[in-house]
Amino acid sequence: MRPILIIPVPKIREEDLAEARRLNHLDAQRGAVELDAKGAVIEDIEDRRDRWRRWCGLSKTICMRSVDQCVPGERKVGAPPASLDTCENLIEMLLRRRRLSLPDRARNYGKRLLELGHPATLPAAKAYPQVVSWLLWEACWRGMSTARQVASPPLHTQTLTVKWWTSTPEWLRFGPSEYLLRALGECARNLDQFWQSVVGRMKPYGSYFLDPRLVSIEFRAGDQRLRRNLPTSDNFALRKHQQSMSYARTKAQTAFVSGQSDRIASQK
């Protein structure tokens, strides 16, 4: 179940579509700083974000489950504990793998986008949607505001990794890293698919809006009932105790029935 991918599809009217394309054509010609007739800086980025969220059917904050599922398995003896560092390393690997999966032409186009130091409107006819979705995914996960920051070495811990880490239940956060990393990888892939879906919704308007701050991503803990499926030392010991008690009761009942049969036979 991936609730983040189930977002309502807004209906597009032809007159609204024509107006949206006109506005996007003007925005695509804008630079990093625009001045009005009086020489003052035009600060309309929030208006542009609201417009794109309305067109794409998005809310300002998107809430994801921090844990969708945990696949049970045998607990390994001496399994390493989970840590924030291992989570960061996994995300870095997924981001790097995503970059390397881009075709050569798309990668060259992405290098030009990495020079942008401001939210930009990109004409869809000349853009590569897979590059736009990749940049939005990576910048969003790392807590960057612009594409240019993605090309710079990270100065802080990945923002969404910290958010996800603090939202996970303690039984998963401080348990074996196998289950924690599996849940984190699933969450990262969900967010990647979310941005691909958003970019797909931008295409009918003739442009893509490259702004990692378009929405804010939050996490909430998953169903606590999943804990029962995880073979921790506590529930493993409880299960063994229950099995031993059941065996003891069965053995006592068998001995009692056997004793009763012997007494009846002796009386005869």
Residue type at 259 in one-letter notation = G
Q: Comparing C-alpha atoms, which of 217, 238, 218 is closest to residue 227?
A: 238
- For the segment 11-24, the average pLDDT, to the nearest whole number, is 82
pLDDT band at 42 (very low <50, low <70, confident <90, very high): confident
pLDDT score of 235: 45
62, β-bridge pairs: 217
Amino acid letter at 39? G
- Given a cut of 90, whether residue 227 has pLDDT beyond it is no
As a whole number of angstroms, the distance between CA 188 and CA 166 comes to 15
The chain-wide mean pLDDT, for the chain, equals 80
Q: What is the pLDDT of residue 61?
A: 94
Residue 65 DSSP symbol: E
Over range 111-138, report the average pLDDT: 94
Question: 70 and 172 in contact (C-beta within 8 Å)?
Answer: yes
Is the pLDDT confidence value at 5 over 70?
Answer: no
What pLDDT score does 232 carry?
Answer: 42
**Residue 47 to residue 51: CA distance in whole angstroms:** 6
Average pLDDT on 222-251 reads 50
- pLDDT, residue 73, reads 43
- Give me Rg for the CA atoms of the chain: 28
Q: What is the mean pLDDT of residues 20-28?
A: 89
61's enclosing H/E stretch is strand 61-65
Residue 143 has a pLDDT of: 93
Alpha carbons 80 and 259: distance in angstroms, whole number? 52
Express each pLDDT in 152-207 by its tens digit: 887 788 999 999 999 988 888 887 888 889 999 999 999 999 999 999 999 999 99
pLDDT (0 to 100) of residue 154: 78
Q: What is the pLDDT of residue 251?
A: 59
Say how many CA atoms lie within 13 Å of 159 toward its Cβ. 14
Q: Domain residues of the chain, as ranges?
A: 3-231
pLDDT band at 230 (very low <50, low <70, confident <90, very high): very low
Which phi-psi region, left, alpha or beta, contains residue 5 (left: φ > 0; alpha: ψ -120 to 50)? alpha
Whole-number Cα distances in Å, 129 to 75, 106, 126, 134, 231: 42, 9, 10, 8, 42
Q: Percentage of the chain with pLDDT > 70?
A: 70
Please report which confidence band the pLDDT of residue 28 belongs to, taking 50, 70 and 90 as the band edges: confident
